[in-house]
Amino acid sequence: MISLFYVVILQKRPFMIDFINWISPKTKRKLPSLKNPEDVMNRKKFLSIVIIGLVFIISACSGTPQNSTTAPLPTSTEIALPTETPIPTLLPTDIPLVAFPEGYLGGELPVGGSYNPAAEIFDQAMIDYMSARGIDAAELVILKKDKIVFSHSYGWFDEDHTHPLTPDAVMRIASVSKPITKAVVMKLITDKKLTGSDLVFCLDGNTTDCWLTIEPIAGAEVDPRLKDITVKMLLEHQGGWDREASSFDPMFGDLKIANTLGVNPPVDKYQIASYMMGRKLNFTPGEKSVYSNFGYSLLGMIIEEVSGKTYLQVVHDEIFTPLGIDNVYLAQTLPENRLTNEAHYNCPGMGTSVFNPGTTVCWPDGGWNIDHMDAHGGILTNAETLAKFISTYCIGTGFPKTDSCGEWAFYGSLDGTLSMVIQRSDDLNWVVILNQRENQSYGSHEDIRDMIDKLVPRANNLN
């Protein structure tokens, strides 16, 4: 700045002096003319005084005082909830892009992301795990103190193995959608748009303190306990449905429900709710906790009713847009409807299509219908986005993080999908997504959790 000013004064001095003379016509003595050789010495003295004076003024106005500290600029938008508990500033992914050596780790599976020699142990473990189980697409992200320090993809984007998978590819996350739904509900409760004691179903003419007005299937005998189910019970899987006891999960029962309702499959979530309202509950609501996909599907409907928006729009508005994230979608069942940046899913077997019951398809391609699973299992994104989510929200409570969330884990599993989000008390948190669910011949999904949990302390060496 000072050098620039000096150049301007020296190079443009006739204009500067003429200008000063113009604004000071009444001064007893004009400034020296640069055209008069006798005024050269006076001109130099004048310019020196002007420059020194202006340097002093500029320094005084814009300089940083000695021994002071300049506050860093915020790295992302912070959200202040009505409770005045701010969401911590989200640190960005800051991993310099370094190419992997040719033939990296034998070249058996391509690795995407940025090469880091200190991270080879993670890559080798993932490649060994995937190769032993025939898994050909995965993403792993590790955070240290809420900063992404490791983000790699493994395997292939497409079924024909012609394009390596990259970390920005999106995949189904199955039931890991539920912590996101929970965070939305807790935000609505915090904003006093909803309460945990609100009733789920508007029954027996009740229209206050309840949300869903859905007609039960015609001729059905409605379980009177339905009217006692609250939002809090749905959040805690206490709504009264037990898929093990009934040997039936309605979110995978399109053909049976369509036949009962007399409609063509597939069915939507409201038709599923109508059908379920005609079935007897498996236990009294609030009596115990039994995992329920259907309960979280109802929460998605309540979110829509409260907000007047679609479930996905509320997820964007309340959770991801404030974090600067725009790659969260709802999954589509049929391959022709999928996104161009969506990875393929391994085919574990064939089943009757719920879109065309006269045909058989790979299970992930229509053996069940992910289109109606939104709030309990229908979100589509990548591991980095889930990592940013768990760096901002506690998956156990749904509330924004203010400190460590403690120990929490949540799994998602569908044909062609296994996902995990893990929060640890040491804040070395991690996310993994695979394009194949656990195979009992190789053990359960606990195997990969044990493997990564044992390795993840080494992430302290990553920057």
CATH number at residue 331: 3.40.710.10
One domain, residues 440 and 416:
yes
Give the Cα separation of 344 and 162 in Å (integer).
Answer: 12
Which of 251, 278, 307 marks a domain boundary? 307
Give the Cα separation of 416 and 435 in Å (integer).
Answer: 5
**What is the predicted pLDDT for the residue at 387?**
98
Residues 6+ apart with CB under 8 A from 63: none
Q: Is 286 helix (H, G, I), strand (E, B) or coil?
A: coil
Which of 259, 275, 307 marks a domain boundary? 307
The tokens for 463 are: 């920057």
Other CB atoms within 10 Å distance of the CB of residue 268: 13
Give the Cα separation of 419 and 171 in Å (integer).
Answer: 9
Give domain status of residue 51, yes or no.
no
Give domain status of residue 299, yes or no.
yes
One domain, residues 343 and 375:
yes
pLDDT digits (tens, 9 = 90+) for 210-250: 999 999 999 999 999 999 999 999 999 999 999 999 999 99
Give the DSSP H or E segment for 150: strand 147-155
Q: Is 391 helix (H, G, I), strand (E, B) or coil?
A: coil
One domain, residues 268 and 328:
no
One domain, residues 345 and 446:
yes
**What is the predicted pLDDT for the residue at 93?**
52
Domain that holds residue 221: 183-307
**What is the predicted pLDDT for the residue at 29?**
38
Give domain status of residue 253, yes or no.
yes
One domain, residues 427 and 286:
no
**What is the predicted pLDDT for the residue at 15?**
38
Q: What mean pLDDT, rounded, does the chain reach?
A: 84
One domain, residues 290 and 321:
no
Give the Cα separation of 414 and 394 in Å (integer).
Answer: 23
One domain, residues 295 and 214:
yes
Give the Cα separation of 13 and 23 in Å (integer).
Answer: 15
Which of 264, 281, 307 marks a domain boundary? 307
Does residue 222 contact residue 203 with C-beta atoms inside 8 Å? yes
**What is the predicted pLDDT for the residue at 26?**
38
**Domains contained in the chain, number:** 2
**What is the predicted pLDDT for the residue at 6?**
36
Does residue 103 contact residue 158 with C-beta atoms inside 8 Å? no
pLDDT digits (tens, 9 = 90+) for 147-178: 999 999 999 999 999 999 999 999 999 999 99
> Which residue stretches of the chain have pLDDT < 70?
1-95, 440-443
One domain, residues 141 and 187:
no
